[in-house]
Amino acid sequence: MDILVDILRAVLFVVIAYAVVFVAALVNIFYERRFMAFIGDRLGPNRTGPQGVLQSVADAFKMMGKEDFRPLLADPVLFTLAPVTVMIGAVSIQLVIPYTGGFMATSLNVGVIFLVAITSFTTLSILMGGWASRNKYSLVGALRAAAQMISYEIPMLLSLLIVAMIVGSLRVDVIVAFQANYEWIGFYAPFTFLMFYIASIAELNRGPFDLPESESELVAGYATEYSGMRFGMFYLNEYAGLTIMSMVAVTLFFGGWMGPWAGAIQFWGIEWIGIFWFLAKTYVLVSALVWIRFSIPRLQVDQLMAFAWKILIPLGLVNILATAAIILWVPSWKWGLLVFGWVSFFAFVGLFDPILKRRLRKQRERQPVVSA
C-alpha cells in the first residue's frame, strides 16, 4: 500500500511540474508581451479574449498546427531529441522546490547541488539542437550558448555555496525553514543575491545576455531551423525558465513560501496561503527580469565572457572567503553578514558603473582623433 501511495505521489508531482512549466510559459509569454508593450508605449496583444489573455493559447495552437519540418541535411536523431529533452531541466528542478509548507516532491540532501546540476541540462539540449540543425547560425548560437551557460554556472554555484554556508545545509526545505520570521538570506547577503541573479539571467539566455539567440546577429540562434511545435518547445522552455529561475531565487533568498498568514488555511498537511506568497514573490522577480531585458543593451561575446571570468568569479571567490571568515570568527555573525552584505552590495552597484565609464572615457581619450 505504501508503494502505491508513493507511486501516486510521484505521478502527482511530475504532473504538477509539467503543468507549472506549460502554464508558466503561456502566462509569461503574454505577460512579457504586455509589459514590453507598456515599456515601448504600445498596446500589445489585447484582442484574443479579455485583454488578450488567450493570445499565447492561440499562439500555442497555431504552433501545433504547423508543419513538422526538418531540414534535409539535419541529423535526424539529435534534431528530434533536442526539443524533447530541453524541458528536463525546467521540470526536474521543481522536484526539490517547496511550493509551500508540506508540499514538496522530495527533500534531497544535496538539493542545492542538484539545482545547479540539473540546470546544465538545458545547455546540452541547446548544443544538440544547434549542432544537429546543420546551419551556421544555429552552430554559432549553440556554441555561444554553451560557452555562456558554462561560464555563468560558476558564479551561480559560488553564490549558492554562500547560501549553503549561512544555513549549514544543502537541503532546500531547511534553507526555507531557516528564513522563517523574515530573516531572508537576500537581506543577509544582498550582494550574493545580485550575483545569483545576474548569473541566472545569463543561464536563461535573456537580455542583456541573450547572445545565443540575438535576433539581429544570428536570426534566431540555435532555434533558426526549428519551426512548429519543435520551436515551441524551445520557446516554452525559455519562458517557463523565467518562472522557474525566479522560484529558485525566491526559495533560496526570499523565504520561499513564507509570508503573513502563510499557514492560516491548512488541510491535507499543506499550508495553502503559502502558495500565494510563493507566486507573488516569484512574479515580482519575473517582472524585474522583463524590465531588465528592455533596459540594458545586449553585451558582446568578449564582454560577456570578461564579465563572468574577470569580474563575477573573482568577486564571488572573495565573497565566499569573507563570508566564511565572518561565520567562523565573528561572534554575532548574522549582524556581521548583514553589514558586509549591504556594504559590498552598495559598493558594487555604486562603483561598477562609474568605474566602467571612467575606463571607457580614458579609452576614448587614447583613441586617435581622426579629424587631424
Q: Which is nearer to other proteins, 272 or 294 (CB)?
A: 294
Residues 347-366 that bind other proteins (CB under 8 A): 353, 356-357, 360, 363-364
Does position 332 interact with other proteins (CB under 8 A)? The reply is no
CB burial of 252-262 (b: ≥16 within 10 Å; e: otherwise) equals: bbbbbbbbeeb
x/- map, 171-210, other proteins, by CB under 8 A: ------------------------------------xx-x
Q: Which is nearer to other proteins, 38 or 61 (CB)?
A: 38
Residue pair 26/237 in contact by the 8 Å Cβ criterion: no
Residue 88 cell numbers, joined: 528536463
Residues 7-36 that bind other proteins (CB under 8 A): 36
Residue 102 cell numbers, joined: 508540506
* 286 CB burial (10 A radius; 0-12, 13-18, 19+): buried
Does position 107 interact with other proteins (CB under 8 A)? The reply is no
Q: Which is nearer to other proteins, 79 or 187 (CB)?
A: 79
CB burial of 90-112 (b: ≥16 within 10 Å; e: otherwise) equals: bbbbbbbbbbbbbbbbeebeebb
Among 298, 311, 333, 342, the residue binding other proteins under the rule CB under 8 A is 298
Among 283, 293, 326, 341, the residue binding other proteins under the rule CB under 8 A is 293
Number of residues located near other proteins, criterion CB under 8 A: 42
Among 16, 39, 229, 311, the residue binding other proteins under the rule CB under 8 A is 39
Q: Which of 54, 205, 23 is nearest to 129 (CA)?
A: 205
Q: How far is CA 52 from the centre of its chain?
A: 26
Helix, coil or strand: residue 103:
strand
Among 42, 62, 66, 334, the residue binding other proteins under the rule CB under 8 A is 42
Does position 303 interact with other proteins (CB under 8 A)? The reply is yes
Residue 134 cell numbers, joined: 546543420
Residues that bind other proteins (CB under 8 A): 36, 39-42, 72-73, 136-137, 140, 207-208, 210-211, 214-219, 293-303, 353, 356-357, 360, 363-364, 367, 369-372
